[in-house]
Amino acid sequence: MRLVKLSVLVSVLFVLIGFNTNAQDGNTILKKLDEVMYSPKDMTAKTKIILIDKAGKQKSREALTKQKGTDKRLFRFTAPASQAGIATLSLPNDVMYLYMPAFGKERRISSSVKSQKFAGTDFSYEDMEAKLFVNKYTAKLLKTEGNLLVVELKPKSPKSSYSKIIVKLDKVNYYPTYMEFYDKGGNKIKTATYKFEKIGKYWNAKEITMVDLKKNHKTIMQMSDVKYDTGLTDDDFTVRKLKQ
Amino acid sequence: MNKIADLIVKLKWPIIVVVVALTIFFGLQLKNIHINSDVISSLPDNDPIAKLYKDIGEKYGGNDMGMIVLETDDIFKTEVFEHIKQITDSLKVTKGILTVSSLTDIIDIKTSEFGLEIGKLVDEYDLPDTQAELDSLKQYIYSKDMYKGSIISEDGTATLIMFTMLDEADKQAVAAIVKNKVEQMNLPEKVYYGGLPMMMNDVSDLIMADIIWLLPVVFLLIALILYLSFRSKRGVIFPLLTALIAVVWTLGLMQISGYELTMISNNIPIILLAVGSAYSIHVLNRINQTYDKDRKQALIKALAYIFIPVVLAAVTTAIGFVSFVFGAYLTMIRDFGIFTSIGTVFALLLSLFFIPAVISAFSMYKKNTDEKQHDNEEQSNFISKNILKPLVNLLFKHPKYTLTAWSLLILLSIGGMFLIKTSVNMQEYFKKDNPTRVSEDIMQKKFGGSQPVFVVFKGDVQSPEFLNIMIKTEDYMEESPNISTTQSVADLVEEMNNAMGEGKHIPDTKEKIEQLWFLLDGQDIMPQLVTYELDEAIIQSKFVSTDTKAMEEFIDYMNKFIDENSTENCQIQLTGMPSVYVRMNESLLSSQASSLIIAILFVLIIVGLILKSFSKGVYATIPIIATIAVLFGFMGFAGISLDIATVLVASIALGIGIDYSIHVITHFNHALKETGNLNKSLEDTIMISGKAIIINVVSVAAGFLVLLFSQMVPLQNFGLLVALSMIGSGLGALTLLPVILILANRRKKITVK
């Protein structure tokens, strides 16, 4: 009798521990990922966005970027000439301000459509959303592949346009190298490839390539002249600043 | 002639081997034959308007758009929204589908004094479920022009779910999957499918249905007629075998030369069975009737006699088919003409070379016992006794009455000709209960039609001048009673300008427009309205009416505007289904005239040459021209329109029908030379050739009448009219022609005296 009880206890414990370890793993990894992605207090950089359509035709845009924390971001476009001076300011709660110099005024744009593309790129508002990974997804470690961890992310919100995202991260430094996005029918619809480099004490995504597999359309986002923790304040992210 | 016949018998084995080898070769191609159900691809490239229409469809992805219509008594019910969402979600994850828009998945942009609010019209995760929510949604939707009549019908009983497909997707396969998925949902609402990919899927089914159902019917029917006429196995087997081999060769050749089966050419097998079996009937008949102690000699004699008449019959028929090449508007009609005429030549070659070779190689001669029965058979023959004998009596007694009767009939028919209408609307080509036609009807009733109209603008798309002309054009178009809505990139620019707080108009500087483009770039709708290079943009619209007259008026109306407003910086062109239909309509009449004139001339020349007399050539063509007059009269009185298929009837009738007159004249000449007796010669001609003609009329007419069961309305009419023409030209050859011969010869006698 005692033997049986003991064995039940042991197996329950085992199951509990086993379960816990697994969940812990996923969560820990997400937290580490968030640390890599969002630990700088602020950042300024030059961003180049290259759009490549299926025929291989390219269009490119350049912008100066400022970011503070996870949820304030300012883009000021410098090229092409026709769109130079256009600026966007993203604030928390899906609010964005757009400034167009030719009109000399700004407009508030609020969007609740997450699948909407961000300014003609292959990034959707959902992809650009600067929310902590732990808040957006539940994670499960699938396997390790050499130096990489393969993690499956499932969106917590039913409104997400994805059913899951498979992420490959560096085992040591926890920056992502590759992501696959799946639609609700389980079809792989987008992939993102990341190139990271260390600048000071932070890891920087110097190039992200997002491919829309359906449209065979590609967006490459490159970052240069990156500076961290220069002491940006909330004042740098106001509508007044947007217009300057 | 004897030499050729001799050669055929000598080379019997090589002939058989070649035929078998070719049949295996072509037969192997058949499994690769493609069905092309894309009606649009049949529009001719040499017509700039049709070419532009095809190009626009490809360039702006309009040809890849599918539509699903849900119809019920009231769309504004939670349950209906759930069903719309169910379909939308299912389509969104279907492979090959790029975008889906429906009531539960459409972007709604609200402009306020502060800016833009981008959201979904209906929150797909929180569908309206109270009456109050439904009512306010309804009110909102009907307050906006962009939804009313485009995604939901004005009466609120039907809604559209639209989807676009990937370029590289197999459009028909995706259409079939979509249909299957939706059907499995078993929704209580009525569901219809529209758009080119869905229509192609239907047409494809219909092409297969015609082949699967009609071909065996025609086959059995002709077998039955052959059996009743010849009462022997080989009388059935040989004609059917030649026709079948001709079908295999023709379809195999189509495949090799890169042609596809269309909703017209899928009937080539049926027509070849009806037409192609005739030549071997003649050859067999002659072999049966030629007696010689030496069977081989009999065969050669028979062949030598029949060679020219059969070649003549086939060549004239082939000319009838090939004459479409000069006038047909749709390429599928032209291809149909070419390959049917090639098939006719194949059938001819097989009856002249293959049939005698097989008979002589396998010694399949008719048994001698038949010879004794020969005369009895002929005497007791039903056709001779009940039809031909009384006919001969009538003709000799009252030649002038016969002539008067025909004259009256022709006069009446000429009256009927003025009642002939044309029909180019492809909708009317489908039967009333055909799903494609039903969907088109619904689209027309609920959503302002489904016939695309495009206005193409070339120039600098981002210049204010260019966009203002587009807006002006749209306003002008919408004044036409047949245009309900228009859509263009200029509308979007106005919308964005309004969002910037500037009001709903085109900005006055190019700079502003270029900056507004920041909001438009990358939107799914953009590739449907403007080119990547920004050097061309289109207005998309739909035309309500299916009336050709209304289309003509609209095109005149638009051309007037284009003449006044097209400039070097903004070149305007109009295309679309109404434009194409008007061109098709014009081409119907001209192609009818040109193909008929070409066919008559060719036939006249060939018959004249063969009969070595121009006047005899004219005599031979009189019955068939009379028949064609009656045919047009019948079309007028019976309300059968001239359409893509019926426009072919006259030339085909000429090609096949002339054979009967040729038979009568050659036989009569032979007999007159032998006996010198006019009446006796004519009686002989009618009694002997008449029988063959009647058998041929019945078998060809029966073959074509099977087309009455075709899925395509033009082919139904085509079958009926060709059958009628066969009867008419047979009758003409046996009544009108003899009377002309009697009267002509009497006059000759008088002048000689």
Inter-chain contact B516–A100, Cβ cutoff 8 Å? yes
B712 by DSSP, 3-state: which?
strand
pLDDT given for residue B381 in this prediction = 67
Taking CA atoms, B690 is separated from B303, B344, B383, B476, B740, in Å, by 20, 23, 9, 65, 16
Inter-chain contact A113–B118, Cβ cutoff 8 Å? yes
The CA dihedral of B144, B150, B153, B156, to the nearest 10 degrees, is -40
- Who wins on pLDDT, B513 or A14? B513
Query: Dihedral sign, CA of B476, B479, B481, B485?
Result: positive
b/e B232-255 (16+ beta carbons within 10 angstroms → b) = bebbbebbbbbbbbbbbbbbbbbb
- Who wins on pLDDT, B667 or A47? A47
- Nearest by CB to A121, which of B509, B522, B532? B522
A222 by DSSP, 3-state: which?
strand
Cα B66 to Cα A228: distance, rounded to the nearest angstrom: 50
Residue B509 CB coordination number (10 Å): 12
Per-residue pLDDT band for A15 (boundaries 50, 70, 90) equals: very low
Question: What is B163-224 written as a DSSP string?
Answer: EEE-TTS-HHHHHHHHHHHHHHH--SSEEEEESHHHHHHHHHHHHHHHHHHHHHHHHHHHHH
Residue of B164, B165, B518, B535 to mutate, testing the A interface (most A Cβ within 10 Å of its Cβ): B518
Inter-chain contact B514–A158, Cβ cutoff 8 Å? no
Six-digit token string for B241: 């075998």
Q: Which residue has the tokens 């260390």?
A: A198
pLDDT given for residue B753 in this prediction = 42
> Could you tell me which residues are beta bridge partners of residue B312?
none
Nearest-neighbour CA in chain B from A182: distance (Å): 10
B-chain CB neighbours of A183 within 8 Å are 92-93
CATH, range B381-418+613-753: 1.20.1640.10
Instruction: Identify which of B715, B629, B669 has the alpha carbon closest to the alpha carbon of residue B271.
Output: B715
Residue of B86, B109, B515, B519 to mutate, testing the A interface (most A Cβ within 10 Å of its Cβ): B515
- Who wins on pLDDT, B328 or A17? B328
Give the CA angle between residues B435, B440, B441 to the nearest 5°.
Answer: 100
| B380: DSSP letter | H
For A174-202, the pLDDT digits (tens) are: 899 999 999 988 899 999 999 999 888 88
Q: Which residue of B has its CA nearest to A184?
A: B93
Query: Dihedral sign, CA of A195, A197, A203, A205?
Result: negative
| CA atoms lying within 13 Å on the CB side of residue B532 | 12
Cα B632 to Cα A106: distance, rounded to the nearest angstrom: 71
For A77: left if phi > 0, alpha if psi spans -120 to 50, otherwise beta; the answer is: beta
pTM here is 0.80
Cα B59 to Cα B61: distance, rounded to the nearest angstrom: 6
Cβ contacts from A onto B, under 8 A: 94
Residue B637 CB coordination number (10 Å): 15
pLDDT given for residue B292 in this prediction = 67
* B678-705 helix and B713-731 helix, angle to the nearest 10 degrees: 170
Nearest-neighbour CA in chain A from B69: distance (Å): 23
Question: What is B723-737 written as a DSSP string?
Answer: HHHHHHHHHIIIIIH
Q: Which residue has the tokens 């559209």?
A: B160
pLDDT given for residue B375 in this prediction = 46
Q: What is the pairing mode between strands B115-120 and A105-111?
A: parallel
For A71-120, the pLDDT digits (tens) are: 888 989 998 888 899 998 988 877 888 899 999 988 888 777 777 777 77
Q: Which residue of A has its CA nearest to B111?
A: A109
- Nearest by CB to B522, which of A97, A120, A186? A120
Contact indicator for B239, B692 with CB cutoff of 8 Å: no
CATH, range B450-582: 3.30.70
For B177-188, the pLDDT digits (tens) are: 999 999 999 999
The residue ranges of DSSP E strands in A187-234, in sequence order, are 188-199, 202-212, 217-228
- Who wins on pLDDT, A23 or A187? A187
Inter-chain contact B115–A158, Cβ cutoff 8 Å? no
Instruction: Identify which of B696, B690, B692, B662 has the alpha carbon closest to the alpha carbon of residue B309.
Output: B662
Contact indicator for B6, B300 with CB cutoff of 8 Å: yes
Inter-chain contact B522–A117, Cβ cutoff 8 Å? yes
> Could you tell me which residues are beta bridge partners of residue A110?
A95, B117
B-chain CB neighbours of A54 within 8 Å are 167
Model confidence at A16: pLDDT above 80: no
Six-digit token string for A130: 């600067």
Q: Whole-angstrom distance between the N-terminal and C-terminal Cα of chain B?
A: 38
Phi first, then psi, for residue B716 (nearest 5°) are -60, -50
Give the CA angle between residues B578, B583, B587 to the nearest 5°.
Answer: 145
CATH, range B63-201: 3.30.70
The residue ranges of DSSP E strands in B557-631, in sequence order, are 570-576
B107 touches A at CB < 8 Å = yes
The residue ranges of DSSP E strands in B222-323, in sequence order, are none
- Nearest by CB to A116, which of B118, B502, B512? B118
Inter-chain contact A100–B92, Cβ cutoff 8 Å? no
Taking CA atoms, A89 is separated from A107, A217, B501, in Å, by 10, 26, 18
Contact indicator for B449, B443 with CB cutoff of 8 Å: yes
Give the CA angle between residues B324, B330, B335 to the nearest 5°.
Answer: 55
Enumerate residues 6+ apart whose C-beta is below 8 A from B162: B65, B66, B67, B68, B100, B101, B102, B151, B195
Q: Which CATH class is domain B1-32+232-371?
A: mainly alpha
Q: Give residue limits of the domains in chain B.
A: 1-32+232-371, 63-201, 381-418+613-753, 450-582
Instruction: Identify which of B399, B398, B383 has the alpha carbon closest to the alpha carbon of residue B738.
Output: B399
One fold for B381-418+613-753 and B450-582: no
A2-242: what fold? outer membrane lipoprotein receptor (LolB), chain A (2.50.20)
Contact indicator for A178, A192 with CB cutoff of 8 Å: yes
Q: What element of type H or E holds B275? A: helix B268-289
Taking CA atoms, B732 is separated from B61, B349, B386, B416, B634, in Å, by 54, 28, 18, 19, 16
**Is B393 buried (19+), middle (13-18) or exposed (0-12) by CB count in 10 A?**
exposed
B-chain CB neighbours of A121 within 8 Å are 522
The residue ranges of DSSP E strands in B318-475, in sequence order, are 451-459
**Is B636 buried (19+), middle (13-18) or exposed (0-12) by CB count in 10 A?**
buried
> Could you tell me which residues are beta bridge partners of residue B530?
B537
Order of strands across the sheet with B483-487? B483-487, B536-543, B451-459, B570-576
Enumerate residues 6+ apart whose C-beta is below 8 A from B12: B356, B357, B358, B360, B361
Q: Which residue of A has its CA nearest to B511?
A: A102
Nearest-neighbour CA in chain A from B83: distance (Å): 17
Q: What is the mean pLDDT of chain A?
A: 84
Six-digit token string for B118: 């981008």
Instruction: Identify which of B264, B645, B200 has the alpha carbon closest to the alpha carbon of residue B423.
Output: B645
Residue of A49, A97, A107, A188 to mutate, testing the B interface (most B Cβ within 10 Å of its Cβ): A107
| CA atoms lying within 13 Å on the CB side of residue B662 | 27
Order of strands across the sheet with B190-194? B97-101, B158-165, B65-71, B190-194
pLDDT along chain B (753 residues), means of 10: 78 90 92 80 86 88 84 93 93 89 86 77 85 90 82 91 86 90 93 85 82 88 86 85 94 92 85 85 78 76 82 87 79 89 94 89 61 47 76 82 90 92 80 85 83 93 95 95 90 88 91 90 84 92 87 95 92 92 85 85 84 83 91 94 85 86 84 84 85 84 89 87 93 90 72 47
